[in-house]
Structure 1
Amino acid sequence: MATGTADATDTSEPPRRVTRPGPRHRALLGVVAGVAAAGLVALATRLFTLGVEDNGDGYRLFCGAGLTPLTMDGYASWRGGWTTDFAVGPITCDDPVPSSALLLARATTLVTPGTWSPTVLGWAYALLVGIVVGLGAWAASAAGRRRALVVAVPVLPLAAATFSRFFVSTYSEPAGLLGCLTTAVGVAALLATRREHRSARAVALALTALGGLVATTAKVAYIPVLGAAVLACAVVAVGVRRPRVAGPVVALVTVLLAAVPVLAALERQEQAYAPVNAHNLVFTTVLLEVGPSATSPLGLPPQAVALTGNGYFNGPPRPDGVPWWEGAILGRPAETRSAALLLLAEHPTAAARAVGVGLQATTLADLPYLDALPAPYGAPSSPDGHPGWSGARQPDLAQVLTDTRRPPWLPGALVLVALVAAATARWQGRAGRWSLAAGLAAATGLGLVVVAVAGDGYFEVFKHVWLAAYLLALAGLSLVGAAATGLLAAWRTRRTE
């Protein structure tokens, strides 16, 4: 993902001869790219035998599609794998979570009357990935066949089941990934083309904006993706007469289209989960990072320190009936949460540690505690998940972070390098486009981490920063592209001397 007019780096080197394919060849190129991308998703999920176990969140979505798990006990959560079959019928809940993922789930039930499986949803996502990549390749090829290869970068991380297996699940996350991929493909096409490629840039703008809308309406916590999409659209030039008009118009329309669903999602989140989010932020993060001195500013008694590290769900029993807890968490969750965020702002070192934990959690995006294989038909549901992986109890969370052999500093270092590279892109010649892509991907990923930690503390932090891990993978690949382009340019310069 990247920003900029995608023309700023064109004048840094003399133009080279570029072979531009004709309309038929461009269309064929798009079809081939789309088929390849869809096939990659299918292969990465072993033709959709890999999926993601429901941790209890899935019901909030699939109940709105009229799906009932065909299991012995009628439940799908924590069954040692993902549920393979659902009965299709009327909606089974009064207030399903509003999500673009729900729209797609409902659409797939129309082609599978009677019985439904997440594998059908997986094929639908694979098809949509293919369409997005095909359109992006077609648009990018306006600047030459080789330029179409840029759309491969957002697709490459899907080769790992870490990301693509979520397409076979009943979560909102896969729609967020699809939206993020769509924006990334659109921005890649914007960077590959120039303002005179009007039709190509129009398609790329549409992909960029649509991706931001799909991601943010999948989960409101993915709003940084919308911000990145709007920013990219706003600074893009299209055409030669009024090149600065189209991009800002698309950006404005995108914001207007997103306003109502985003505000509705925020309101629903506040109504349904305000106490949960306040508890998790205070006890899993603020008291843990700031220390016992945080109790007074939060309006809590000293004995509240005993709950440090305990999440609302899956942890030790909540202190129901205790006046100070029910007053601060159940009675005034918005005020308590605001005080907690203010306290983090007043303690930047603690805030930095909290964001650092979120970044470190991106190294464990494979989420092994959510089983990938189908669950046995008769396996009973469990009411609880792993307390360490769910971030519901200390020191279990700290132990999970410690046990990983992946460098904890790597995500933070990647973000820093990508942001510096983007800030110096104008002096990097053709490599600058890759650096811009790396910078925006890293900044968006960092934004997702901040929103995740500020929204729900360390509870389910690994799952909440899962999409950020995808963006950091894009940032890393873009930095590799920048380095390779820079080295190639230096080698060509030396050859001509």
Structure 2
Amino acid sequence: MTATATGPRPRDRVLLGAAGGLAAALLVVLALRLPSGSPLGVEDNGDGYRLFCGAGLTPLTADGYASWRGGWTTDFAVGPPTCPGPVPSSALVITRITTWFAGDTWSPAILGWTYAVLVGMVVGLGAWAASAAGRRQALVVAVPALPLAAATFSRFFVSTYSEPAGLLGSLTTAVGVAAVLVTRREHRAARVVALVLTAAGGLVATTAKVAYVPVLAAAVLVCALTAVGVRRPRRVGPALAVVTALLAVAPVVDALERQQQFYAAVNAHNLVFTTVLLEVGPSATAPLGLPPDAARLTGNGYFNGPPRPDGVPWWEGAILGRPAETRAAALVLLAEHPTAAARAVGVGLQATTLADLPYLDSLPASPANPSAPSGHPGWAGARQPDLAQVLDATRRPPWLPSALVVVALLAAATARWQGAAGRWSLAAGLAASTALALVVVAVAGDGYFEVFKHVWLAAYLLALAGLCLLGAAATALVTAMRSRRRRV
């Protein structure tokens, strides 16, 4: 990520942006097989209803359900909202807009086309901004889009989850950061566009799911530290950072209050029994205000696992009666046992190696198939030793994500001494630290329950960090070769 003294002509920059946007949109279209009769998507695990009910969508299936059908539901009837309080999400906004053009029947495939267009617009704007530093520099915005060539990430665009909006937001922030890193402060218009992309991406991601707030934090940090203009270079970036943070306050608070209202007991149970008791051991029952007998539930999630102890006084008191206090005590206990906390974060990072989520089928389901009652308890993180078996069965190195985070952070810490490769290292460090924060939030929020899906966005950012490290290595190699030739 280096900058040249002069950039291309304005017309050429527009053409570069248009070409980059078209290429990115086409990449998503081909990855999802949208022109075919069987595009790739993601099977609903039950979470989809919380979003599509607010868009007025009803599954056109034999039993009226969309979850666990051996594939994703292809057709929905369009009407008024079917639930009083849908999950607040930027993904819901996008879904509602697509229903305006769907007539009486709607398919998630239209979301795939919509997200492809949005990806193209983001990459196109980023390419235009980055091209202020030169034609070759415009290519850096392709790096955040490259992981979308894998169905692992792009297939979520054909789904009724909130995750696709989180991915779009993270991509937008990454494209903005790439444009910031290749331009200079005198490229005022280009940097303003790049910072707007960075900030907008953070807002879209965080309002998709409140657990994605680390993306917003990264976006605000970049805006606050970026100089725009020569005469008063520090005003625009920090001002945009403040505005972005203020815009995020209301939706983040609303999302947290909703989470506390509907899922406080669920989150407390999952954190205590799938993670804290598992990693700290049976001795953790006393600090949590639980009897020793509670250790029998170790490894069991709230959903998809063995039956909950409904009617048992200690469970109903600690989990249903005071979930916030129990969850706070669990987090304090993890802080007091850093080894256990490190193991928990390590499990979350290892789960990113299985971001393809094979337990959620990719192909369309037959509308005649009945809806199954639940998913796989191992993949759902709802029962031990099933979760451990899933983690152990992967052929991918379990240590790779942790090693990637360490290398990226070290590279970012030494970026000032790396010359032209330093900007790539900074990008790698930002992506890796954001991914790590996403993992921490996921594990602290809901334990190991649905951990593979909860760290899925972190897997995208780790893939991006890996690509940036490759860019740093290639830049350093080219620089060394050029220096050697000069000496010869």
TM normalised by structure 2 equals 0.98
Work out the CA distance in 2 between the residues paired with 1:46 and 1:87.
23
> Paired residue for 1:26?
13
Counterpart in the other structure of 1:487: 477
In the alignment, the residues of structure 1 paired with residue 74 and residue 51 of structure 2 have an alpha-carbon distance, to the nearest angstrom, of: 16
Give 1:3's aligned residue.
Answer: none
- Tell me if 1:408 matches 2:395: no
Q: Which residue of 2 aligns with 1:391?
A: 381
Match of 1:442 in 2: 432
Correspondent of 1:276 among 266, 277, 284: 266
Partner of 1:353 in structure 2? 343
Q: Residue 90 of structure 2 aligns with which residue?
A: 100
Off by >4 Å, runs of 4+ in structure 1: none
Q: Which amino acid aligns with 1:277?
A: N
1:40 aligns with 2:27: yes
Residue equivalent to 2:291: 301
1:290 counterpart residue number: 280
Partners of 1:108 and 1:121 within 8 A in 2 = yes
Equivalence for 1:382: 372
1:46 to partner: Cα distance = 1.3
Residue-by-residue CA offset, 1:421-475 (whole Å, 9 max, x unaligned): 0000000000000000000000000000000000000000000000000000000
Which of 158, 161, 167 is equivalent to 2:151? 161
Q: Is the 8 A contact 1:55 1:385 kept in 2?
A: yes
Instruction: Please give the per-residue CA displacement for 1:286-315, whole angstroms capped at 9, x wherever unaligned.
Output: 000000000000000011011000000000
What are the equivalent positions in structure 2 for 1:7-156 lying under 5 Å apart? 20-47=7-34, 49-156=39-146
> Does the aligned pair in 2 maintain the 1:52–1:370 contact within 8 Å?
yes
- Unmatched tracts of structure 2, length 5 or more: none
- Take 1:39 and 1:475, find their aligned partners in 2: how far apart are those partners? 23
**Alpha-carbon distance in 2 for matches of 1:47, 1:313:** 33
Within 2, Cα distance between the matches of 1:66 and 1:409? 44
RMSD across aligned positions (CA): 0.9
What's the CA shift string for 1:13-54, capped at 9, x where partnerless? Answer: xx8x65621111110110110010000001111127100000
Q: How does 1:208-247 map to 2 (within 5 A)?
A: 208-247=198-237
Pick 1 or 2: higher relative contact order, CA cutoff 8 A, min separation 6: 1
Give deviations 1:458-497, integer Å, cap 9, x for gaps.
Answer: 0000000000000000000000000000010000000001
- Check whether the contact 1:316–1:393 (CA below 8 A) recurs between aligned residues: yes
| Residue number in structure 2 paired with 1:370 | 360
Aligned equivalents of 2:64, 2:449: Cα separation in 1: 27
Which of 242, 253, 256 is residue 243 of structure 2 equivalent to? 253
Give me the whole-angstrom Cα distance separating, in 1, the residues matched to 2:399 and 2:110.
39
Q: Structure 1: give runs of 5+ residues left out of the alignment.
A: 1-5
Aligned partner of 2:152: which letter?
A: T
Which amino acid in structure 2 is aligned with residue 488 of structure 1?
V
CA contact (8 A) 1:19 1:145 kept: no
1: CA distance between counterparts of 2:234 and 2:163? 34
**Percent pairwise identity:** 80
Q: Any idea what the Cα deviations from partners look like across 1:119-161, whole Å, max 9, x if unmatched?
A: 0011000000000000000000000000001001100000000
Q: Secondary structure at the match of 1:52?
A: coil
Alpha-carbon distance in structure 2 between the residues aligned to 1:338 and 1:19 = 55
CA distance in 2, matches of 1:36, 1:98: 32
**Residue in 1 that maps onto 2:326:** 336
Partner of 2:412: 422
Please list the CA deviations of residues 229-270 of structure 1 after superposition, one character each: whole Å capped at 9, or x if unmatched: 000000000000100111000000000000000001000000
Match of 1:310 in 2: 300
**SS state at 1:87 partner:** strand
2:6–2:132: 8 Å Cα contact kept in structure 1?
A: no
Distance across 2 between alignment mates of 1:192 and 1:47: 33
CA distance in structure 1 between the aligned counterparts of 2:365 and 2:321, rounded to whole angstroms: 40
What TM-score results when the alignment is normalised by the length of structure 1?
A: 0.97
Counterpart CA distance in 2 for 1:220 and 1:19 is 41
Shift of 1:113: 1.7
